[in-house]
Amino acid sequence: MKKILASMLFISTFTFSQSLSEQLENDIDGLMTKVIEWRHHFHQYPELSNREFKTSAYIKNVLENLGLEVQSDIAITGLVAMIRGSQPGPLIALRADIDGLPVTEELGLPFSSKEKSVYQGNEVGVMHACGHDAHIAILLGVAEYLVKNTDKLKGDIMLIFQPAEESPPEGEEGGAYLMLKEGIFELEKPDAIFGLHVTNGPHGTIFLKPGPAMASAEAFRITVEGKQTHGSRPWEGVDPILAAFNIGTTMQTIVSRRLNILDSQAVVSIGMVNGGTRNNIIPQKVVMEGTIRTFEKNYLDKIHAEIKTIATNVAEAHNATAKVEFAVYGSYPVTFNDLDLSAQLEESLIKASGGKYTRWNVPRTGAEDFSFFAQEVPGLYFFLGVNPENQESSYTNHSPKFYVDDDALDTGVKAFIQLVEDYSESY
C-alpha cells in the first residue's frame, strides 16, 4: 500500500509540475478545434480597416466568456485584455491584427467570404487575404489556454487585438500608432511584445529575421492635371495620361539608376492609375498611387526628392502639372526584431516548431505596423508557413487565392506559449 501511495504522489506531483508547454501537448487537440472554428468565422465575415465592429464584438464576447475584463473601443475597434499569472514575472504583450482587405475572394471554400464594402468610393469584395483571421484565432486560443493555466504563468499577459494594420482610410488615424497614442502602454508598459504573421511558406515552419526584418512603408500620390479634349483632336488639349505614363516609366530609374543599391535596398512601385471615363475623351486629370519601401531614413528622403523631380519635370515637358503627396495613408517605420530577444528566444521557436525553423538572412520588403509597438518596447516578430503539408503555393498574402491550412496553426499557438514560458523563466 505504501508503494502505491508513493507512486500516486509521484504522479500527482509530476502532473502539477508540468510547464505551460508540456501541458499544452496534452490540451492542443481540443484547443485547436476551437481555434479553427474561430478562424473560419473570422474568414467568412471580414471587415475593412477601422470598420471591424462585428469582428471586435465577437472577440470581446469570447474574451469575456473566458472571464477577462476587456478594454474596448481603443483606436476605434481595438481591444486589450490582461491575464494575470499566479507567480511574479514580466508583463508580456501578445498582438494580433484584425482587419481584412478590399479583395474579392476566389478560394471557393465553404466558409469563403461573400462580404462587400466600400473602399475609396468603390464597392469592393472583402477578404482576409493577409491571414489576419488566423492571427485572431491563434491569439484567442493562446488566451483560452493561459486563462486555464494561470497557476503555471509567471507574470502577466497583455492581449492586444489591433485594428487597421492594413492602414486606415485616408484622413483617419488608426492601427498600432493610434492604440499607442491613446495610451495602451501608459498604465502598464510591457517588458516585451511578440507577434506573428502567417505566410505561404512550408507547413508549420517558423521564420525569423533578427534586426531589421521588414521595410518601412508609405504610400504616395501623384495627381497629373492636363486639359480635357476630344480624343480625335489631342492637339487641342493637354494629355495627362501620356504624361502619367512617362512619369511612371521614368520613376523606375530611381532605384535602378539614381540610388546606390550597395548601401541599402529600396522599392518604388505604382499600384494604381485612375483617369478617364470614355475611350474617345482625353481627361482633365490622372491620379497615380504607389508605395515606397526602404530600410534607411536617408534613402526615403532621397526617394521623395527624386519622385518630386521626375513628376514635376516630366509633367511640365508635356505642358501638364503634377502634384505630389507623400504618406497619404500614414507611414510605417522599419520592423526591427530586438537582437537580444532574437538570440535569447530563437531556440524557443525551434522547439515550438519541432525543428522546422529557418533564420532569414535578409529582410523582407513587406511592412508591418507592429513596428510602432517594437519602437516602444523590445519586440519579436516571426512568420509561420501555412501551406498544406508537402505542397507549395504561388499565391502569397494579398492574393484572392491566398490559402491558410488550418493544420499549420497549432505551431503558432505553441510558439506563443513557448515564448511566454521561456521569456518568463529568464526574466
Q: Please give the positions annotated as active site.
A: 99, 165
> What is the rounded CA–CA span in Å between residue 398 and residue 128?
8
Coil/strand/helix, residue 246: helix
Residues 6+ apart with CB under 8 A from 39: 133, 134, 136, 137, 404, 406, 409
Q: Which CA distances in Å does 86 have to 14, 100, 147, 173?
A: 19, 36, 11, 37
Rounded to 10 degrees, the C-alpha dihedral 31/37/41/43 comes to 80
Instruction: List residues bridging with 357 in a β-sheet.
Output: 206
Q: Beta strands 229-230 and 281-282: pairing type?
A: antiparallel
Q: Where are the alpha helices (DSSP H) in 252-296?
A: 253
Q: Which residue has the cell 538570440?
A: 343
Residues 6+ apart with CB under 8 A from 317: 243, 246
> What is the rounded CA–CA span in Å between residue 157 and residue 63?
13
Q: How many CB atoms lie within 10 A of CB 147?
A: 17
As a residue count, the chain comes to 427
> What is the rounded CA–CA span in Å between residue 414 and residue 276?
52
> What is the rounded CA–CA span in Å between residue 163 and residue 228?
41
Q: How many CB atoms lie within 10 A of CB 49?
A: 25
Q: Which CA distances in Å does 25 have to 4, 21, 29, 167, 213?
A: 27, 7, 8, 37, 30
CA Rg value for the chain: 25
> What is the rounded CA–CA span in Å between residue 322 and residue 338?
41
